[in-house]
Amino acid sequence: MVMAVEMVMPATLQGVAGLERDWEGPGPRFVQITARFHNRCGGCGGEAQVGTRITYDRLERHPYHPGCAWVAIEQAPWLIPVLAGDAPAPGQVIAHPGYGWLVCVRVAGRTWADNGVSAGSLVGVAARRALPEEIELAQWRTYAGMGDEAEWSWLQPEHVGDIVELVAEFTGWPITRMTREPTQFVAPHPGGLLVFGEVTPLDETERWIAADPEERSLYQRGYRWCRCYSQQCIAGEEGHVHLGSVIPVTRTQFDAANQLGWSLH
């Protein structure tokens, strides 16, 4: 199986930062990795070793451990099954070949998968979209030789693709009920245009894949059939969108944008 490497484009990364500045009210809740060091977690109160990465919540502006439960109150947009021994650490940047740049929020549970031929223990990795500074910091740490080989390997799309393929042997590919993906999203485009989209329900996607091998190939590479809306297309239009180019939003945020004519203001 060949995994296509189609990572998040710079415009999308800048779009994440732009939404942080422009979205007023209950916008996307991003947790940012900062270069500052703190001695104590603002959530659980636990001590942090010198040099430990600390997260910042953009709404409350308190420092947290990357794996602190207080940071993970909201459901992460992505849930990715991996073999139990392969799970990344909380705060780890992940170069996913189908989803783009993500950050592990926490390991969200364990299950046993058995397809009748092989079996294995799987864990769910709850993840969110990585911010530009998080990706830059992770790449710099790799360049400087900081961390270990396990940390560096998550920045290689080919390695992550191999893990995805291995899990597929236990759960079935391309669709697995153990995976969670964004169902509503916004995609920033050049010139300031924001395109809001809604992914086709899973049962419909399964029927298309069963009937069309080309659709299966697109799905494997991270493309989803969506209905998209913008100020230039209020009624919406359908087409494929790559999940590596989107920023997840909640149903409430999606509906609010609709009421504003597909705008943030």
> Does some domain include residue 11?
no
Question: Is pLDDT larger for residue 76 or for residue 227?
Answer: 227
Question: Is pLDDT larger for residue 198 or for residue 118?
Answer: 198
Domain boundary among 73, 101, 131: 73
Residue 180 DSSP class: B
Domain count, the chain: 2
The mean pLDDT value for 156-164 works out to: 91
| Nearest-angstrom CA–CA distance, 63 and 41 | 6
For residue 165, name the pLDDT band (cuts at 50, 70, 90): confident
> Does some domain include residue 215?
yes
How many CA atoms does the CB half-sphere of 62 hold within 13 Å? 12
Cα dist from 244 to 3, 166, 183, 198, 223, whole Å: 14, 21, 13, 15, 9
> Does some domain include residue 128?
no
Which runs of consecutive H residues, i.e. helices, occur in the chain?
10-22, 132-143, 149-153, 157-171, 202-211, 213-220, 251-259
> Does some domain include residue 188?
yes
> Does some domain include residue 206?
yes
- What is the pLDDT, as a whole number, of residue 36? 41
| Nearest-angstrom CA–CA distance, 261 and 246 | 19
Whether the predicted pLDDT of 259 surpasses 50 = yes
The answer to whether the beta carbons of residues 84 and 118 sit under 8 Å apart is no
> Does some domain include residue 19?
no
> Does some domain include residue 98?
no
pLDDT digits 0-9 by tens, 82-94: 988 888 988 899 9
> Does some domain include residue 132?
no
Domain boundary among 73, 104, 125: 73
| Nearest-angstrom CA–CA distance, 112 and 221 | 26
Domain boundary among 52, 73, 94: 73
pTM: 0.69
Range of the domain at 39: 30-73
